[in-house]
Each structure stands twice: as structure tokens, then as C-alpha cells.
Structure 1
Amino acid sequence: MKTPVLNFLGIGSAFNPYFNNTSAYFEFDSELFLIDCGEGVFPNLYKLKLLERYKTINVLITHTHSDHVATLGHLLLYCFYELNKKVRVFFPEDSLISSLLSSMGVAKDIYELVKLNDIFIYKEKLTIISIEQAHVHEIPCFGYIIETGECRFFYSGDSKTINQLILDKFLKGEIDFLYQDTCSENFNGNHPHLSLAELSQLIPPEKRSYVFCIHLDIKFNFNLASSLGFRIPEQIQI
């Protein structure tokens, strides 16, 4: 059985301060790969001294809601001016990220911005495939299929559905783990997040132990999710 590679700094939604904003990281070829950088993420990285530990730091952004990018500017400024490191930022809509960072006072020359096309291959071993997600109308949101050599997983970002391509690949065993945005209440598709009830309809019982519920709201029933066979990532205690 494959082993999950993600380490979670937070598993909460924007309105759930008890579990921090959802953000995770993994290590590849001695480099740090961080997914999202919302409120509280930079302070947690700082306390863990993760930014000092890695020579190269990469950040994948799923979308630009504040619970996913609020401390991205702090991260870039700190790494450049205090650690002499230029962070690499990945996002399919590069102009959106550069405009956002400019509005934060972050100059373009202190970070490297990589426009993620459909498939990005890094060092011939790491593969990142961007998948546009259905979340809100105002801004684009992306999920990522990531293959590290150890496993292949899908990180949903924020989404009110599971893309049919992703679901098919997962059910056929072509994706090892799903990290899925899951909320407590069922609005039958009229909500920017996928409900636990909807997730249960999509994932058969025998596959649920490979699904991690993330971006959890304040009303989310951990016991119910576990009893249904789904998993909750362990959050690093700081």
C-alpha cells in the first residue's frame, strides 16, 4: 500500500480558526513544495523553521481567496530579504498572481513565477497536472494531480464537485489518494464546497480509506466522516 506524502499545516476552512487554513507540504529531491499559503501559514512555517531547512522553496496556489494566499507576500518577502532565497510560485493564471502580489507591495524580481500549463514535469521525476475546478464564478480555482515517484495524489483545492476525469482515475486505481474539499452541509450543488453526503454518494465504501477530507468547516462531523470510512489528515501541532 502506498504511503501518503502530504504534511498538513492546517485542515480548516476560512471560517474555522480552530484548525488553521488548509495548507500542506511535501518534500521532493530535497526541495520544499507548499500547497497554498493562507492566514497563519507563514507564521507556522516560521515556527517550524521549514524555510531555513530547504535551499529551494516552491509554492503551488489553488486560487486567490484569502484563506489560500493571505500570507504568500510575507513568505516571499521573508525568504528574499532574510534568507536570500527566491521562492518559486506556481499557478496556471500567472497574471492574476502577479497582480495580487503587486498590490501587496511584492516586487516581481524577488520571486519566480511559473505559469502551470496542463502538464508540468520537474527534474524528470515530479509531474504536476492542473485541473480547473468548479468553486465560485468570481475567480478561477485549480486542483492538482501530483506524482512524486512515491505516489500519485489529487489535491482538490476548493471545489463543489469531483471532476469526472479525476473520479474515474481514482476509481480505476490510477490515483492513489484524494485530498478533497469537504463541508458539513448538503446544498445539492448550490454551495462552493462538496458536502460529506455528496462525497459519500460518489465514493464507494471500499475506496473511502484513500480519501482525505480537508478544508473542514466548524460544523464538520469528524466522527461521522470516520464512521463512513473517510480519513482526516493529522495536522502538525505547533
Structure 2
Amino acid sequence: METILKNIGKDSGFGDNNNSWYIEENNNLTIIDAGFTVFNEIKHRFDLSKFNNINIVITHLHTDHSGSLPQIILYAYYIHKKIINIISKCEHIETFFKITGVTKDMYTLSEILETKDIKHFEFIKTNHCKELDTYGFAAEINSKKIIYTSDTNTIEPFLKELENVEELYIDLSRYGGEVHLRFDDILPKLIEISKKGTKIIPMHLDDAKYIEEKIASHT
């Protein structure tokens, strides 16, 4: 299925391909989350030297969302002479950089993201786990609105943003737990959202076959 965000990986935290997405414009590359499996994908998929701007959105600091981030910054800086633009509200991200050897001349840090194709980017605070602050976001990409929940155990913070949303990228887990949305519990709400014209894009999947087949049959 063609989606606005392009996929690097969509597995759950212990899967083979960490949940990560990207938008490639002519001179801009924007990566959303950079877990520990993402560095090799970035290295082999993209020639970073061709981009004028490389943006990485970090939604929280669990390693399946941030584990490759220092390596990508170092690689871009030393190999391609590029400074990465980090887009994040995470409370401890500068400490994370400091303890992994990333110095302030290697990156910029902002809560704002705007490019030729990406407009009206806004972080949305959500609940995932008590140890870390976690954010999803809403944005318009080529005039189409999307919502990306990141890891979340609730859909509530995103409901007020759902009007005219083209695609909802949502954390779904078959087995649930306290830190993710349990798919079978949230499915009736997803069907309701889908009937209003929003595509449901499941991500961070612990049982992709089960979830994707049910999504396809109900939405």
C-alpha cells in the first residue's frame, strides 16, 4: 500500500526492523525515529552527501527509537561532512548525546520542523511509560494531514486532531501490556475512524500478519 511516509521498519521493540519512516524531497531527507537497527538501513539506502538538509525526528528515547541516532550523527559528520537537524522535545536528549560522544557542533536541536513539503508540524504529548516523556505529532505533508502516534498506550491525545486526517500511523500490539495499544481493544475505534475517510497505518507491530489482515478486512 502506498503511504505518505515511506517505511524503513515497522517492528515492535524486540523485532528485526525497528519502527522508522522517512520523507525524501529533492534536497531534504526527514527520518522519523532512529532505532538500533536503522543505521545500516540509512547507510545503504541513502547517499547522505546529496542532501542539503537531513532532519531526524525523535519521539522518545527508548533504544528502538533512538539507538542509531548517535551513530547516524557521527557518520554524517565525519564521512559526509553533514550536520544533522534533530527535531525533538525529549527531556534528556542532550544528556544522551553527551554520554555517547556526540558534541554540539555535530547537530542542531529544535522542536520545529518545516520544509518545502512539510508544514504545520506539531508535537503531541502522549503516554507510553512512566520513565520517559513521549510524543507523537501531527503534520501536513504535500498538503495532506497525517498523525503519527509513536509508542502510546492511549489514543486520546490524538482524537481532537483527527479531522481531515489522510493517514493515521498508530502503534498497535496484539498482546498489549501497559505501554502499547492492544489491537483487539482499539479495533472498534479504528473502524470508526476509517469510516470517516482516514487510512489506518499500523506500526510497531508484534504480530504483523494478525494485525494487518484484520485491519485490511475491517477498514
Q: Same fold (TM over 0.5)?
A: yes
**Secondary structure in 2 matching 1:42:** helix
* 8 Å CA contact retained: 1:16, 1:218: no
Equivalent in 189, 193, 202 of residue 213 of structure 1: 202
Instruction: Kindly report which structure 2 residues correspond to 1:106-125, keeping only aligned pairs within 5 A, or say none.
Output: 106-114=102-110, 116=111, 120=112, 122=114
Q: Which structure would you say has the larger RCO, counting Cα contacts within 8 Å and 6 or more residues apart?
A: 1
The CA deviation at 1:54 is 1.6
The CA deviation at 1:121 is 6.0
**Secondary structure in 1 matching 2:92:** helix
Asked whether 1:197 is paired with 2:189, we answer: no
Q: Distance in 1 between matches of 2:115 and 2:53?
A: 13
The CA deviation at 1:219 is 6.9
**Secondary structure in 2 matching 1:198:** helix
Query: Identical aligned pairs, as a percentage?
Result: 26
Q: Which letter maps to 2:80? A: L
Change (3 A) 1:32 1:219: closer
Asked whether 1:55 is paired with 2:49, we answer: no
Q: Distance in 2 between matches of 1:201 and 1:50?
A: 42
Aligned length: 214
The CA deviation at 1:40 is 1.5
Equivalent in 48, 62, 65 of residue 65 of structure 1: 62
Q: Which letter maps to 2:11? A: G
Q: Deviations over 1:17-62 (max 9, x none)?
A: 2xx0000001346311100100111100111124233221000000
Q: Which letter maps to 1:217? A: D
The CA deviation at 1:207 is 4.2
* 8 Å CA contact retained: 1:159, 1:194: yes
Q: What TM-score do you get using the length of structure 1 for normalisation?
A: 0.82
Q: Distance in 2 between matches of 1:121 and 1:158?
A: 20
In structure 1, the residue matched to 2:74 is 77
Structure richer in strand, relative to its length: 2
**Secondary structure in 1 matching 2:128:** coil
Q: Deviations over 1:85-110 (max 9, x none)?
A: 000001113x5111001111111211
* 8 Å CA contact retained: 2:173, 2:207: no
Q: Which letter maps to 1:64? A: L
Range moving further from structure 2, 58-67 or 200-209: 200-209
**Secondary structure in 2 matching 1:183:** coil
Instruction: Kindly report which structure 2 residues correspond to 1:14-33, keeping only aligned pairs within 5 A, or say none.
Output: 14-17=13-16, 20-28=17-25, 30-33=27-30
Range moving further from structure 2, 216-225 or 57-66: 216-225
Equivalent in 128, 134, 137 of residue 135 of structure 1: 128
The CA deviation at 1:209 is 6.0
Q: Distance in 1 between matches of 2:56 and 2:113?
A: 15
**Secondary structure in 2 matching 1:37:** coil
Range moving further from structure 2, 41-50 or 212-221: 212-221
Q: Deviations over 1:152-208 (max 9, x none)?
A: 1011110011134x22432x32x2210000000255xxx211121122121215247
Change (3 A) 1:208 1:22: farther
In structure 2, the residue matched to 1:227 is 217
Q: Which runs of structure 1 show a deviation greater than 6 angstroms over 4 or more consecutive aligned residues? A: none
* 8 Å CA contact retained: 2:27, 2:50: no
Q: Which letter maps to 1:7? A: K
| Consecutive unaligned residues in structure 2, runs of 5 or more | none
Change (3 A) 1:30 1:167: same
In structure 2, the residue matched to 1:233 is none
